[in-house]
Structure formats: C-alpha cells, structure tokens
C-alpha cells in the first residue's frame, strides 16, 4: 500500500468511525485529513481531497474550530485560509471529552434532574420512576465529575499518573 492509499483508507475509516461517535462523516473525514497532514491545508485542498462542496467544507471546518480541535493558520502573502488540526493526542482527547460533556452529558443531566424531582408519589409506579431517574442522575453526575477531573489533567497529579501508565 502506498502513502496515498494509506492516507485515503485512514480518512475513510476515521469518517466511518465519526458517524458512530455522533458526528457527521464529512466532519470526521476533514479532521482525519488535517490531523495527518504535515502542513496547514487550504479549504480548496480539503474540497479537492474529499470531493465535497465549498459550503460543506466551510460548515464542517467551522464546527471543528468550535470544538477547538482545528485551527486557522495564516500564511504571509496568501489570501486563502489554511487549517491545521490539533496534533497532541492527549490534548485532542481532552478537548473532545469536554465538548461531548458540554453537548451531551450536561443537557442529559438537566433533564434527569428535572424529571427525578417530581413530587408525585401517588403510585408505586411514580415512586419507582423517581427512584430510577434519581439513581441515573447520580450516576451520570458522578461520571461527568470524573470527566471534568480527568480533563483538568494538567493540574491533576492522579490523571498525570494514569496518562503515564497508559503510554
């Protein structure tokens, strides 16, 4: 397998995985392409490589920048914008975990808190509902707290130790 085939396979596979992780395939493919590119890439290069429209490229690059995992890079004398992805995998994992917590876990916690605080105890079914949703809220809240602690690893000696052990 040559370089181009390997890169294309990686980009396609990362795209397929992205849709399983809850982001769209094109967004994941753009991220993969930028992550393995040794230099900053223009939007036109992204469009050409992935055979996507300008609007699709623009929208997904903007979303990746909102996630904090893709950055604009300016080159002197160039009118075009260039983009690069976060290359530090530890930092990438932390940014993705924080963003997923913000977009998925925190809204779920809000709903769980609301539904578990019902005052209706008139039936066994209502009591069971309240018990189960309270347990679920407690579990998700602990998980979210753990994610918060792990993503603050720069200041957390335990997380530094865990990351070292994983390497």
Could you tell me the pTM of the whole model?
0.76
Give Cα separations from 15 to 6, 12, 58, 79, 164 (angstroms): 14, 5, 17, 29, 29
CA-CA distance, 50 to 11, in Å (whole number)? 9
**pLDDT per residue as tens digits for the range 80-129:** 999 999 998 888 888 888 888 888 899 999 999 999 988 887 889 988 99
Higher pLDDT: 53 or 167? It is: 53
Task: Find the distance separating the first CA and the last CA of the chain, reported in whole Å.
Answer: 28
Q: How confident is the model at residue 149 (pLDDT cuts 50, 70, 90)?
A: confident
């Amino acid at each position: 397998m040559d370089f181009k085939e390997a890169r294309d396979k990686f980009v396609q596979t990362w795209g397929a995985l992205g849709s399983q992780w809850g982001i769209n395939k094109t967004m994941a493919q753009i991220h993969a392409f930028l992550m393995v590119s040794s230099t900053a890439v223009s939007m036109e290069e992204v469009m050409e490589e992935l055979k996507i429209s300008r609007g699709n490229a623009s929208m997904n690059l903007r979303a990746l920048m909102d996630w904090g995992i893709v950055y604009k890079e300016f080159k002197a004398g160039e009118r075009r914008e260039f983009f690069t992805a976060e290359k530090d995998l530890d930092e990438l994992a932390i940014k993705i975990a924080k963003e997923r917590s913000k977009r998925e876990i925190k809204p779920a916690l809000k709903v769980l808190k609301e539904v578990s605080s019902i005052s209706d105890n008139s039936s066994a079914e209502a009591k069971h509902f309240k018990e189960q949703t309270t347990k679920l809220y407690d579990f998700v809240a602990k998980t979210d707290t753990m994610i918060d602690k792990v993503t603050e690893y720069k200041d957390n000696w335990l997380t530094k130790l865990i990351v070292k052990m994983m390497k």
